[in-house]
Chains A and B, each alone.
Chain A
Amino acid sequence: MSNPYDGLADAGEEKHWAFGTGFTAALSDVDRVVPSSVDRDDLVAYCLMLGDDALVYSQRLAEWCSRAPELEEDVALANIALDLLGQARLLLTRAGEVEGAGRDEDALAYLRDERGFRNVRLVEIDCGPGEGGDFAATIARLLVFSAWRLALFQRLTESVDPVLAAVAAKGVKELAYHRDHAAQWTLRLAGGTAYSRERVIAGLARVWPYVDELFTPHPVETRLAAAVDPATLRSEVDGVLDTVFDAAGLERPDVEQIAPVAGKAGRDGVHTEAMGYLLAEMQHVARSMPGALW
């Protein structure tokens, strides 16, 4: 019997590990110089917007871990959460390096307060498991989010910022799978049983009030040369969603949109009541042990 522990105490011994130790960071070969046409403060804000969308949504999706309706779905939702977490890490790292104040991905994820988070409100609301929703609401959010983010990232591959373009090029492959996964489940739930149809209709109504916000540009998004103006994505995303709804025999939900608060919404750092709890859970350990190494 071979000894599976050989070399464990000797970190230099690469050959003892099943997958070796030679991992390189994603995008390690991309030019990181900020182009002169790009405003640095706006680029930081924009990277936080797209990074926070992914980070907060990943946090929500990971809540399904060990609670999915089927093991295959546990694997799938964790995979999507991991893809988004990967996107978040690249974007927060970029925000930190352009800002130049010494904040890394962890300082940005764990030490910012709620008002500093610039994600859209769609990603932070509780869509289950548990009281906030269910698998259908989760799929409804995934459909809307991935259709929107895929359209956005497809445009972003042309960004003048080489890092944003590279993050987007990596992300579109992932998001195409996420959208496909959500579309397939939308069809199954809509065409499955009377109950599942009822649930998916309710799920879409749960997330739909947050849809307009996705397409409402923040001044940074209209101003920044490296950004995509989300207003320009609306007809394309509507077309994708209508295709899915037509195939599923579903109607676009007819519900009121959630209003901004004093004219402000997620991109301005003004969130729903759910956000504070989400951050409290996410940041608690990191904040309670200052100076710790993880």
Chain B
Amino acid sequence: MDLEREFERVVAADHRIEPRDWMPEGYRKTLVRQIAQHAHSEIIGMQPEGDWISRAPSLRRKAILLAKVQDEAGHGLYLYAAAETLGADRDDLTARLVEGRQKYSSIFNYPTLTFADVGVIGWLVDGAAICNQVPLCRTSYGPYARAMIRICKEESFHQRQGYELLMTMMRGTRAQRDMVRDAVDRWWWPALMMFGPPDEESANTERSLAWRIKRHTNDELRQRFVDMSVPQAEKLGVTLPDPKLAWNAERGHYDFGEIDWAEFWRVVKGDGPCNAQRVAHRREAHEDGAWVREAAAAYAAMRERAA
């Protein structure tokens, strides 16, 4: 009971819970689930953009994209390490991912069809991710909060690079401008879905807020993202694909149209354009690499015996 009071006191005072501190089992489970899903998202997220490294149309863009996808692998590593501080096991989490037992961000279940998608993913998808993640730098669990600080810095760099690519393309040929607009049309609504279901349908929000794992509700963050993106779209010279998008002076926010929640749930439940492909790719890489990991483990064990 004292332990629980101490936990609540630390959380209420906005201090950090550390790996050796007592924590309620539900808090631990919620965090492991959230951090693992976040790690999986980074790893699966390597695929849609990584697919364009070989075709990047300038060497500078190739270097930027390769570095970005490499950063995503690094983010996955920090996050798996953060989950391990809670007693999770990376191999077990990987098994959950490749067996389809644990989710990752649905945004990566959409295809990247042109090089403009690389820019739009940087601008909107990384932008939405930053919106979700900046508050996590102050989340109540210390290792997660600290990992998020570095991740947010790198994500903000990626977002800038994505937006800069789009600005450059918009100054290029008509075909390039059409390519950017097509990509914005395809990614805008899925980006809004990245904030999760509406507050009244979000099963975990209330408890996560109480534990200060989450700091803002899904709808608050989504509104913030819309408010920030509209002027950026204007500056870029693209129209966001929502006829209901309009400034509401009374609310001090942009109103926007209804999200297709049927599509959201369909993709979450595994029936998006690329769900099967993304998991199969990860599973194949994991299985193809099994003999290498076994060799490394056998070699390390042999060295340890010799020492």
Cα A4 to Cα B294 with chains together (Å): 43
Flag if A106 contacts B59 (CB, 8 Å).
yes
Cα A117 to Cα B287 with chains together (Å): 36
CB A27 to nearest CB in B, in angstroms, measures 15
Contact A285/B299 with A75-B74, A86-B63 known, Cβ cut-off 8 Å? no
Contact A284/B55 with A3-B228, A65-B69, A294-B169 known, Cβ cut-off 8 Å? yes
Segment at the interface with B among A144-152, A190-198, A206-214, A265-273: A190-198
Interface residues of A, Cβ cutoff 8 Å to B: 1-5, 8-9, 11, 17-19, 55, 59, 62-63, 65-75, 78-79, 81-82, 85-86, 88-89, 92, 105-106, 109-110, 129, 134-135, 187-189, 191-193, 195-196, 199, 281-282, 284-286, 289, 291-294
Flag if B296 contacts A192 (CB, 8 Å).
yes
Flag if A74 contacts B59 (CB, 8 Å).
no
Cα A205 to Cα B12 with chains together (Å): 63
Segment at the interface with A among B3-11, B156-164, B196-204, B253-261: B156-164
Contact A294/B61 with A70-B293, A79-B70 known, Cβ cut-off 8 Å? yes
Q: List 21 A-B contacts (CB under 8 A).
A: A4-B159, A8-B232, A9-B235, A17-B156, A18-B153, A19-B157, A65-B53, A66-B43, A66-B73, A66-B281, A69-B285, A70-B296, A71-B80, A73-B292, A85-B62, A89-B59, A188-B295, A195-B294, A196-B294, A292-B176, A294-B57
Q: SS class of chain A's interface: helix, strand, loop or mixed?
A: helix
Flag if A285 contacts B59 (CB, 8 Å).
no
Which of B59, B63, B298 has the most chain A CB atoms inside 10 A of its CB? B59
Nearest B residue to A196, CB-CB: B295
Cα A291 to Cα B175 with chains together (Å): 10
Cα A132 to Cα B80 with chains together (Å): 32
- Pairs A-B, 4 closest by C-beta atoms: A69-B289, A192-B295, A196-B295, A293-B172
Flag if A68 contacts B285 (CB, 8 Å).
yes
Flag if A62 contacts B54 (CB, 8 Å).
yes
Cα A4 to Cα B172 with chains together (Å): 28
Which of B70, B131, B169, B176 has the most chain A CB atoms inside 10 A of its CB? B70
Flag if B299 contacts A187 (CB, 8 Å).
yes
Interface members, chain B 112-133 (any A CB < 8 Å): 115, 127, 130-131
Q: How many residues of B contact A (CB 8 A)?
A: 73
Cα A230 to Cα B135 with chains together (Å): 56
Cα A89 to Cα B56 with chains together (Å): 14
Cα A66 to Cα B278 with chains together (Å): 11
* Interface residue B240 (Cβ < 8 Å from any Cβ of A): no
Choose from B131, B153, B175, B295 the contact partner of A292 (Cβ within 8 Å): B175
Nearest A residue to B127, CB-CB: A5
Flag if A106 contacts B289 (CB, 8 Å).
no
Choose from A5, A66, A74, A192 the contact partner of B228 (Cβ within 8 Å): A5
